[in-house]
Amino acid sequence: DYDGRYLLSASYRTDGSSRFAPDTRWGDFYSVGLGWRISGEKFMEGIKKTVNELKLRGSYGEQGNENIGLLYTYNDYYFANGVGGYTPPNPSRVANKELQWETNSVLNLGMDFGLLNNRITGTVEWFKRKSANLLFDVPLPISTGFAQVYQNIGAMQNTGVELQLGIAAIRRADFRWRVDFNVTSFKNKITKLPPNQAKNGIISGTKKLIEGGGIFDFWLPEFAGVDASTGDALYYVDIKDSTGKIVDTEITNRYSVASGSLRNMGSALPKFAGGITNSFSFKGFDLSVLTTFSYGGKFYDGNYASIMHR
């Protein structure tokens, strides 16, 4: 902190976990932040009564995640299976001694302000959060004797903006009323998947993980109406050529067939979401009323779908 105007913070840490092999057990993480209190500069003195506080800031930091189950096991040791043979501790998954920490890195740029004797205060922020070295099950050849292995191979990012605004509507000795408003909007994007799954994606319930898409995107068969003669639900099915390119569509009443032609039906993420808080204080009594809101975003009504299905 220099003269209350120029701010610098930094940190470094190293974390170790026995969930990883000895050679990759330790993860190194750091952060750095810079701030400039513009309101402390001499050229701001003329408007000090109007602009009480104005600060620009930026930060970058990394954090590790190892809370993802038992990842590293000593498959070098085998145990008697009771029938004249020996099996490894986990016959379906081979140990991977090269597994590393998942890493979350956050870049944040923001501005803090206070106006009119701090009756109006607020913050505007832009952020980008990247998650790297995400764990995925990667299939193995049958000849290895194992079905799959964990590998640090995935990555995704969240990018968005946040706004916080506080207004001291009434400030008296025996009565105070304050209104706080916040709104945020962000987008999620998968940037890397295992090579063998990057093209076709990974089906997970009503979601499909695919590079360039988001983890909140719905992928479902597209409804094509009802067959008037039978009452069957109809769905669109893609027709592909030998290269896998979609060249036409047809209609089927078999949901299992349509499940092979999933369409992106939108995201569960709202376009924006936030809240409004009204806080009252009167002679030692406090009352707070919180209202939350969101706009956009879709949800899947599984109960309705099961009721309508024959």
| pLDDT tens sequence across 24-50 | 889 999 999 999 999 999 999 989 889
Banded model confidence at residue 309, pLDDT cuts 50, 70, 90: low
Question: Residue 68: phi, psi to the nearest 5?
Answer: -135, 40
Cα gap 257→239, rounded to integer Å: 12
Q: What is the mean pLDDT of residues 298-304?
A: 87
Banded model confidence at residue 148, pLDDT cuts 50, 70, 90: confident
* pLDDT for the residue numbered 186: 95
Cα gap 255→247, rounded to integer Å: 21
Q: What is the mean pLDDT of residues 39-66?
A: 93
Surface-to-core class of residue 193, CB atoms within 10 Å of its CB (0-12 exposed, 13-18 middle, 19+ buried)? buried
Tokens 């701010």, located at residue? 7
* pLDDT for the residue numbered 292: 98
User: In whole numbers, what is the pLDDT of the chain averaged over residues?
Assistant: 87
Cα gap 244→198, rounded to integer Å: 15
Q: How far is CA 199 from CA 184, 212, 213, in A?
A: 32, 10, 11
Reply yes or no on whether the pLDDT at 92 is more than 60: no
What is the distance, to the nearest Å, from the Cα of residue 30 to the centroid of all Cα atoms in its chain? 21
* pLDDT for the residue numbered 60: 98
* pLDDT for the residue numbered 89: 53
Banded model confidence at residue 66, pLDDT cuts 50, 70, 90: confident
Banded model confidence at residue 78, pLDDT cuts 50, 70, 90: very low
* pLDDT for the residue numbered 80: 52
Q: What is the mean pLDDT of residues 255-283?
A: 93
Cα gap 48→39, rounded to integer Å: 7
Residue 210 tokens read as 């695919």
Pairing of strands 272-282, 175-192: antiparallel
1-15, 82-96, 159-173: lowest mean pLDDT where?
82-96
As a whole-number percent, the residues of the chain with pLDDT over 70 amount to 89
In single-letter form, the type of residue at position 64 comes to: G
Cα gap 170→234, rounded to integer Å: 60
| pLDDT tens sequence across 103-119 | 999 999 999 999 999 99
- For the chain, what is the radius of gyration of the CA atoms? 28
Q: How far is CA 287 from CA 64, 119, 164, 177, 281, in A?
A: 40, 20, 21, 10, 6
Banded model confidence at residue 81, pLDDT cuts 50, 70, 90: low
Tokens 């009802």, located at residue? 226
List all residues 6 or more positions away from 36 whose beta carbon is below 8 Å from its beta carbon.
5, 6, 7, 55, 56, 57
Banded model confidence at residue 137, pLDDT cuts 50, 70, 90: confident
* pLDDT for the residue numbered 76: 46
Banded model confidence at residue 77, pLDDT cuts 50, 70, 90: very low
* pLDDT for the residue numbered 183: 98
List all residues 6 or more positions away from 214 whose beta carbon is below 8 Å from its beta carbon.
187, 188, 189, 190, 267, 269
Half-sphere exposure at residue 148, Cβ-oriented, CA atoms within 13 angstroms: 10
* pLDDT for the residue numbered 266: 93
